[in-house]
Amino acid sequence: MPHGAHPAVHGPGEPPSVSDVLDSKLEVCYMCPIQVVSTGQLEIRFRTWGGRRRGAGRKPSGRKVGVPHRPRPLHERRHPVHVTLRADRRLPSLREERLVLALRRGLARASRCEFRILQFSIQTDHVHLMVEAEDRSALSRGVQGLGIRLAKAVNSVLGRRGKVWTDRFHARPLRSPREVRNGLVYVLQNWRKHLPAVGGIDPCSSAPWFTGWRKASSSMSGSPPVYPPRTWLAAVGWQRHGLIGLDEAPATPKTSRRTSRDVRIVTPPAALPRR
């Protein structure tokens, strides 16, 4: 009851008036004051799941990994490049005669002054190339144009539409005579990696036109589908480590160069004069 107020007097059986009820509620309010507690600034909690963030998403595995989408390194014109194009696995083997002939024609027409195909090898579901290019732009445009040309050739033979290559092209610069020689073995003798029992020259490659064999082999008639090298490394430098034998094969990750039975170690001859 407020200070100075007098309680009302009711007779027996008389209900309380409205003012009496209000006075009783006010009395409760005065007895229970509201306490305000200062807790400072409220903390805002942000969501920590979902949305775009670095490293999010399911990681690909197996053949889906592909070539990382990173800026390609600067290209120096004096370094040949090992290029790999991977085809859709739903396609028939690229080593079928009709597809080999179409791909060979496309490769022969793709070389230009700023982009040159030196060697190639057609495998079941991929193509290996050794190329030269004047700069990074010429390399990218040359390989992209080559990919389009070859895809059209394959689709024309198969009577289909759609993409042929499943990923960006893989490119690895070859910076030394040893790397260029190993690259030549890898490209020209790549079929021995997939078919270890075979021997001789791969007919689905530019090996019949290659002049760097240790033992002379029969060459194909007609104009070669590849361009003569212009860089010192691809023309002369790699020969410092010896010509290539028909019994050589690319080294595999499980067998090193020194212990592999498929790779013959050649004693380097006297150094050739650099031109």
User: What is the rounded distance in angstroms from the CA atom of residue 142 to the CA atom of residue 16?
Assistant: 102
- The per-residue pLDDT of the chain, averaged, comes to 80
* pLDDT at 91 > cutoff 70: yes
13: left (phi over 0), alpha (psi -120 to 50) or beta: left
Q: Which of 118, 169, 172 is nearest to 143 (CA)?
A: 169
- Which pLDDT value is given to residue 125? 93
**CA angle, residues 189, 191, 197, in degrees to nearest 5:** 105
130-147 residue pLDDT tens = 999 999 999 999 999 999
Evaluate whether 167 touches 89 at the Cβ level (below 8 Å): no
* Mean pLDDT, range 50-75, rounded to an integer: 67
Q: How many residues does the chain have?
A: 275
Report residue 184's pLDDT band, with 50, 70 and 90 as the boundaries.
very high
Note the pLDDT of residue 256: 41
Identify the pLDDT of residue 264.
38
- d(CA 71, CA 73) in angstroms, rounded, equals 6
Those residues whose C-beta lies under 8 Å from the C-beta of residue 177, and which sit 6 or more positions away, are: 233, 237, 238, 239, 240, 241
> Taking Cα atoms as reference points, which of 189, 73, 214, 199 lies closest to residue 136?
73
Question: pLDDT per residue over 106-128, tens digit each?
Answer: 999 999 999 999 999 999 999 99
> Scanning the structure block, which residue is given the tokens 């496309």?
106
Q: What pLDDT is attached to residue 67?
A: 62
What pLDDT was estimated at residue 66? 62
